[in-house]
Amino acid sequence: AADRRAVTVAVARTPGQPFTIETAYLRAPRSDEVLVKVVAVGMCHTDLIVRDQHYPVPLPAVLGHEGSGVVEAIGPNVKNLKVGDHVVLTYGACGHCAPCVSGHETYCKSFYEHNFGGAGPDGDIALQSEDGEPLHDHFFTQSSFSTYALARERNAIKVPVEAPLALLGPLGCGIQTGAGAVINSLKVRPGSSFVSYGAGAVGLSAVMAARIAGATTIIAVDVVPSRLELAIELGATHTINSREVELIDSVREITGGGADFALESTGRPEVLEASIEALGGMGTLGIVGAPKLGTKASFDINSLILGGRTIRGIVEGDSVPQIFIPQLVELYQQGRFPFDRLVKFYSFEQINQAAEDSTKGITLKPILQIA
């Protein structure tokens, strides 16, 4: 493997089992690819449900999809990035289908292949183990649980060098999902009411965004008291512990009849059903929380019709990352989007501790410090 670079990766080999830290070999960037020296990478719920095979990404695989780092080398067709640029890595998309060319890359017709395929869309695998075995990669067009990651120009988003690079990776997935759902998808209005069902990394990002958008009633719902306390510090005007009180009645009471806007990020069908019931007239619910494939929920059809209510699914907060990620960085720098409050740093070697703390609800958003 003379033309390949030795890298250190965390490999998911067996569902439900810890990641293993291994040496691997990564090929050089081609075409519009960039090689990124990873500085840090966030851990998202999606990494863990893929490791545990709720989504059938082939194993062994190198996951990680909230990377940030420095451009180390570029392929011959890269136009707008150069060596030394600071970048945040985000989701992949083809860039050519109808949703992509109309500015809706989160609904790319080959979104699954570009993010969950375990290889490039053409079947290419860029990583080999020490024994020469292919390691499934291209996870979210990055596989950034690694000291170096291959991304494409379109999903490596340039950020200012003054911004704290090690903190920024989660903007590429979990944080932009919650914030973008509120700002881009739901378009929460000043003076309106907003309910965040779930106060995890996604739900609390939505709470911060609702304050930016000018919602005057902001309710955070969760079952973990420490998360509800943090929600208040981040802009929630009310909290509901759904283990302690009746959820639908509480939301109706606080909002005076039902919510104008709501976001469901718990991934639990019973919470989703309650969030539909607790919508006000002409209210809109966005759904981002992902249960196992095939999960169903139900709602009262006539109440949806007569109330003029809307329910919609949302991927990655409808983010056009080249526009939205720099906006979030600027809001952070102005002190209006303090997402650093969600973060706890770990070393790369502590990846399994980070996963455990995240699963137990001890840590909201782990970031692995790689370099």
Q: Where does this chain bind ligand NAD (CB under 6 A)? A: 44-46, 173-174, 177, 198-203, 221-224, 227, 242, 265-268, 271, 288-290, 314-316, 361
Of 83, 49, 89, which is closest to residue 65 (Cα–Cα)? Answer: 89
Cα→Cα distances 48→74, 263, 276, 280, 305, Å: 30, 22, 28, 35, 37
- Amino acid identity at 144: S
Whichever of 68 and 242 has its CB closer to Zn ion, that residue is 68
Name the strand (E) or helix (H) holding 178.
Answer: helix 174-180
Q: Which does 223 bind (CB under 5 to 8 A by kind): ligand NAD, Zn ion, none?
A: ligand NAD
Among 62, 173, 182, 262, binds Zn ion (CB under 5 A): 173
Q: Which does 297 bind (CB under 5 to 8 A by kind): ligand NAD, Zn ion, none?
A: none
Interface positions, 26-45, toward Zn ion (CB under 5 A): 44
Whichever of 149 and 199 has its CB closer to ligand NAD, that residue is 199
Can residue 236 be called a binding residue for Zn ion (CB under 5 A)? no
* Maximum distance among all Cα pairs of the chain, rounded to whole angstroms: 67
- The answer to whether 7 and 25 have CB atoms below 8 angstroms apart is yes
CB neighbours (10 Å) of residue 51? Answer: 24
- The answer to whether 247 and 222 have CB atoms below 8 angstroms apart is no
Stretch that binds Zn ion, among 46-54, 79-87, 206-214, 342-350 (CB under 5 A): 46-54
- For residue 342, which phi and psi values (nearest 5 degrees)? -90, -10
| CA pair distance 45, 43, nearest whole angstrom | 7
Shortest distance, position 245 Cβ to ligand NAD, whole Å: 11
| CA pair distance 148, 212, nearest whole angstrom | 35
Shortest distance, position 311 Cβ to ligand NAD, whole Å: 14
Q: Which does 228 bind (CB under 5 to 8 A by kind): ligand NAD, Zn ion, none?
A: none
Can residue 46 be called a binding residue for Zn ion (CB under 5 A)? yes
**Residue 218 DSSP SS3:** strand
Whichever of 139 and 194 has its CB closer to Zn ion, that residue is 139
- For residue 190, which phi and psi values (nearest 5 degrees)? -55, 140
Can residue 367 be called a binding residue for Zn ion (CB under 5 A)? no
Whichever of 40 and 276 has its CB closer to Zn ion, that residue is 40
Q: Which does 370 bind (CB under 5 to 8 A by kind): Zn ion, ligand NAD, none?
A: none
Give contact residues for Zn ion (rule: CB under 5 A).
44, 46, 173
